[in-house]
Structure 1
């Protein structure tokens, strides 16, 4: 049977099972098993590829980042971050909508997971916003959109997976994601100010209250500094950064702010392990699926087609990949999408001489955007469920917010120097720079 026919069967089987409600991991493995039966490859080889997909030291950072978010949430420490956010922007038009966005920007630097952000924001902000008259559809749309920031700023789990699978500097992706993440956050604040509900405008916090809120939130607010600072200084890897952050929370934050929670910490470890098992099995299945696609020369065909259509122009290639990943992100979760299509991305990145970190950030923004687009839209689906509103209503409320992501993606493509400025300044090696012969400066390709 021709390779193209096997690829088509695998893809259609995966999509059909997905639409029937079969979990993504099992849908992928069903396509892999059928594809394997039509090739000379043994099932033992497929099992080995699935194991190789999760046998990565870099991926060990994910459970620790998840544990950071779980500890902060269950210990009820995040309420101090919410109070600081309210002191900063609660007086603006859109009141609690502004607070929700700023709160998400703070918490994103601790969790790295949009799912964790949706859960925390829904638990903390949904009810107060409802009491002030915000429509449930708007609340769900805002929470879902704000949660995507966690995929852009460090310690983004999506960046960890992209860097581990694509052999791209995770530290470089962390730094490069800060500007797009800030753009999405500021864009949501501007949207809430000019186009969102007016809400209840509180009096501006006094300097004394602002200092008090900052002091109360100081200990948890140091977590992003520990994560990013330690990685940038070379003191520890992303995985070690996650371990240090967990230790900091267990030894300093929880005893100082909520000592009674120490007896319940074991539940947080169990919950983080359960949450990690979901992407882990999906990573294994996607790795086997992607390896079989590579064996069938699928990436070569796709990359050749994109190269021909784009004429080899780097920006055209990136826009075509954005279109592909936007469609893919509507049906597949970001992590398996990254793993499956990484061979195509790597080939096109090399062909067009695009910086790997630049390409990674553009695609991560695109996949984050896919979390609020139909028909899958995981973040929007979760927010709708937590808030108690129909998905269709939340989707209609989120449509104007799409403009923010379009602008951010276009900016990231057209202004690579701006996106790469932070990694180039703070960690030049992460974007391929190397020291000049005199040892006093860097040469960047």
Structure 2
């Protein structure tokens, strides 16, 4: 949203959002998308050799990673197939414009709707969306902190106004709306859930009777999942993918994260044991075709795993995170799965870990009102248990942890090269 939009009166903002919502719904739900939903449902039950795949253009290395794509942009871009631009969040410090075709968008929305259909959610279902983009100025001090988009069937709620002072207003609006589905970043929904617990609003949250909660765009930790499910008494399921469309994975009824094999060509490169690094090639975006594009996420993957849902697509056992989601010890070893540091620290709203080039660490912590020495001792114990007694660190207490431009919380920031 532009700075001009954010200065407009609320009613005009509502009008603009609904106009955009009208055209977005036409893009997200059309005859071609509906046809593709059925196609992808069939593909899920085919073996990897039987899946319908597109031919991949020759790999000359020009699209290997973000830097290569930026340097070779003009030679890769095919204007005749261009529909619109998507943008990566730029969490690595370098944002990336990604041109896409209509065929890409149709396939993308087909796999999203297929995922929802698996969990008994359909086009007529309304959604509460906690929005990472600024739909309302952060300077706004009074509700409403949301906009209803009628054509796209969404209650768009600003994640930037969620606080101890507003959590009740948010919950009351959700209950009043009678909407039964939520989609958000894991960090946003976790923060919201923590505030609900702190303000003794669990009964109100459960009275909203959510039937579907989905998260995407960030790693969902087991701790986050446990808290959100406890608060809303509803299962949390996840989508895993990239803006560049070189991978998509969806959680099935049995909790497995399945690759959409007909959407892109996903490659697993072994790091050690059952740990693999991901890369992928796009099948459907002729506007900017990517070949063996490095995702840099590491996952746990068992090659012959068969899910009890009987889908034959490959399954990611666990998303470990990006290469820069690791902390480096003085021994040179890299430590991941750092969400365990925050486990059982019930009086912490959220936290962030920063590592500097000298290997020193800073833990940014947003405390709840009842935070005490017991919580501090528990946090210190968890840090030393995970990183060892020789780790050099300090704990900094802050009121809020800044988000990226797209509204994500970067749980780990490493400046170690």
What TM-score results when the alignment is normalised by the length of structure 1? 0.24
Greater relative contact order (Cα 8 A, min sep 6): structure 1 or 2?
1
